[in-house]
């Protein structure tokens, strides 16, 4: 059975679900919502302005969720950003299948890269978001405190 979802065009395609998953990956990387009318004009739609930051590690560091405080495996974050970029391809034919996305994510998890200490907190260009609850989810970018990369169940934070 093939499931179809609408993508940014509002049309249904076989790989529209992949596009939606790409949005979720970008939300995880940045800690930002896909649509936020409180952001400045030109930055209200996350996907519209984030794509150029996904192509290079240096650019990616500028948009990473500041709540991670620079402590995340940068190589894994870059691999996730590259996957997100492929998922967000405008042409559905160029997007990977969900099976390919899952295989890539499993390979990333198997690499089991450890987080690094931040080099310089003060150089992070994103503004600190006051009044937001901490994230309570697990991903390759948010390792468990005991160092075990395995996922665990957590309660969802309503936004």
pLDDT tens by residue, the chain, 159 residues:
333 445 556 667 678 899 999 999 999 999 999 999 999 988 999 998 999 999 999 999 999 999 999 999 999 999 999 999 999 999 999 999 999 999 999 998 887 545 555 555 454 444 444 555 544 445 555 555 555 444 333 333 333
* Rounded CA Rg of the chain: 16
* CA 141 to each of CA 48, 86, 122: distance values in angstroms, whole numbers, following the listed order: 23, 19, 21
pLDDT value, residue 139:
55
pLDDT value, residue 126:
46
pLDDT value, residue 84:
97
* CA 95 to each of CA 13, 107, 115: distance values in angstroms, whole numbers, following the listed order: 11, 18, 29
């Amino acid at each position: 059975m093939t499931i179809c979802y609408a993508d940014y065009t509002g049309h249904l395609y076989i790989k529209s679900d992949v596009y939606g998953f790409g949005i979720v990956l970008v939300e995880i990387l940045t800690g930002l919502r896909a649509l936020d009318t409180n952001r400045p004009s030109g930055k209200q739609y996350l996907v519209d302005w984030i794509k150029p930051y996904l192509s290079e590690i240096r650019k990616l560091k500028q948009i990473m969720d500041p709540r991670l405080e620079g402590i995340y495996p940068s190589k894994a974050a870059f691999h996730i950003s590259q996957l997100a970029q492929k998922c967000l391809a405008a042409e559905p034919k160029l997007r990977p299948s969900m099976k390919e996305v899952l295989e890539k994510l499993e390979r990333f998890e198997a690499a089991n890269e450890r987080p690094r200490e931040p080099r310089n907190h003060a150089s992070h260009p994103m503004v600190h978001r006051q009044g937001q609850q901490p994230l309570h989810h697990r991903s390759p970018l948010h390792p468990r405190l005991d160092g075990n990369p395995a996922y665990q169940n957590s309660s969802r934070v309503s936004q």
